[in-house]
Structure 1
Amino acid sequence: MPIMEGGGRFLMSNIQSVQVEHPCGLDVVRGVLVSVDKQRYILSVHLDADAEFIRLGAPVYVSLLFMNDAHRLNASVKSKSDLLVQLQVEQKRAGQDRRRARRYPLKMVAHVQQNGTAPVEVHLQDISIYGAGFRSLHPWEVGQHGTLILTLMGQQLPIRAAFEVRHCISTDAGYWRIGVRFIQMSRVDLMWLKRLFPE
């Protein structure tokens, strides 16, 4: 199946597969995520099989697999053509009450950049719309600024967030735990993070 790439749509390379569920848990169907429209919050999924509950306008749960982690979202079926469906991501995370600055566990490789230098690999541990935590082989000073680069949605259009370091803690394992507060990002990236990781 061709991968759609223009107009803000691009591969979600860190997601291996998708699971679409009936809201009452009555049925589940797996599929592969082929593209995402970050500006309109639309996921395009190719299903492994058809399911009666996946019909136009129907509410569904979508579980995205980031490496070893699953992230569940509320969505509705926007369009359907055979096994290819478009899912509209809703504002509120499935089963999640709103509360300020909730941190979502998200273990994946990310990159950080400082003052125009080459990006350095780090291991993301958690994220919210306000900040993130990651492990680094190198210490950062409190108050230091940098840019976090996340390829949640593919290599073509990564999410970039300028940050300020709030804490840096050394560990016996030889790395540092860094906590950062986001201080600037594009409106499109911010709105997409709000859909994926609501407060």
Structure 2
Amino acid sequence: MKLNKTNREEIIAAAVLATFKVREAAHEKARTALADALYAHTYADAEKIAKKLPQGWAAGRDTVVIACDGFRTYGHGNGAPKTMKLSRTRLFPPYSSEIKVDKAHAVYEGAQAIVREHNAIEAAKEELRTKLHALVYSVTTTEKLREAWPEGEKFMPAEIVAVPSHLPVPHDLVANVNALMGIRPRKAARA
């Protein structure tokens, strides 16, 4: 089957996802631990008070937002996303927003470790994408891709992995069709 851009991009995406699944899960766990530490450092005393307040006086959220070197504001770009999931829903004071973390803050070093790991993962993913792009775009069919990279078959979408069964073409069918259409058979190419 002929490969198209969609097939190729699906193969690349599946391979990158599979390669970094474990590392990204560990990174996300570390981000959650940082979020919990940041919340505990900033709002632990306030949470004790908020639990005593009437229902609805304190908002419950499952994310915390950090303002720190190396964390990006919105969208794509360098740096780790500044919104981090907490391990559970926690109470926040009204009108609370992002938590500023400077070099003197207790969780600054942990935050910088998160940024370094995020940047390392992104760089490794980009390097892998580049190499996969070169490999996947160097061939035109799934058969050639299987020959060039047999280990990559597990990343191919199901619809291109299945090899359709074809009945063999009878040896005289082409000659009969050409004769019916008045087409002369091609002469075999000389070596």
**Higher relative contact order by CA 8 Å / sep ≥ 6: 1 or 2?**
2
More helix by share: 2
Query: For the superposition of Structure 1 and Structure 2, which TM-score range results when normalised by the shorter chain?
Result: under 0.3
Normalised to the residue count of structure 1, the TM-score between the two structures is 0.21
Of structures 1 and 2, the larger Rg is shown by 2
Normalised to the residue count of structure 2, the TM-score between the two structures is 0.22
